[in-house]
Amino acid sequence: MSRPVTIRHFELRDMERIMEIERASFGSEAYDRNLFAEFFHRCTGLFLVAVERRRIWGYIVSSTGRQLSERAELVSVAVDPAARGRGVASSLMRNTLRRLRLRRVRRFTLVVRQSNTQAREVYEHYGFVKMRRLPHYYEDGEDGVLMRKML
């Protein structure tokens, strides 16, 4: 990628590309198409894609649960393996944080695998702090780490 990505709202026509990125990122643990369709309807304004030259390179989904909630959760984020290390995830995170602040969200949380030290370091870079370990959080029995950022 030679120029910065553009961040825009997810559209249903993006679904196939999102599924490609999801499968490449999470393999057998990838979310299915129906769940992404639900995110489209439930996470209005917080299901974003990163685009460069009309190609989607990554996505981020966050949820506030209710329209006027002071809390939000990072549901999922993924970047095409071919675009990793090029600032796509950072662009998505910065844009999401800006949108959450505009909605007056005060607390942003996420859960990440205990073993995913690279992701945990990225989240720490953005000000997320570890709150607690969640034993056996994932289907395969791995622990999760609950992290929070105050906005």
Per residue in 69-106, pLDDT tens?
799 999 999 999 999 888 899 999 999 999 999 999 99
pLDDT of residue 80: 96
Q: Does residue 127 have a pLDDT over 90?
A: yes
Query: What is the assigned CATH class of domain 1-105?
Result: alpha beta
**Per-residue pLDDT at 45 exceeds 90:** no
**Structure tokens of 40?**
């489209």
Domain locations in the chain?
1-105, 110-151
What does the buried/exposed string (b/e) look like for 30-46 if buried means 16 or more CB atoms within 10 Å of the residue's CB? bbeeeebeebbeebeeb
Higher pLDDT: 148 or 45? It is 148
pTM over 0.75: yes
Contact by Cβ (8 Å): 50, 59: yes
Q: Write down the pLDDT at residue 69.
A: 76
- pLDDT given at position 4: 78
- What order do you get walking across the sheet with 71-79 strand by strand? 6-9, 47-52, 55-63, 71-79, 107-113, 144-150, 129-134
Are the C-beta atoms of residues 111 and 132 closer than 8 Å to each other? no
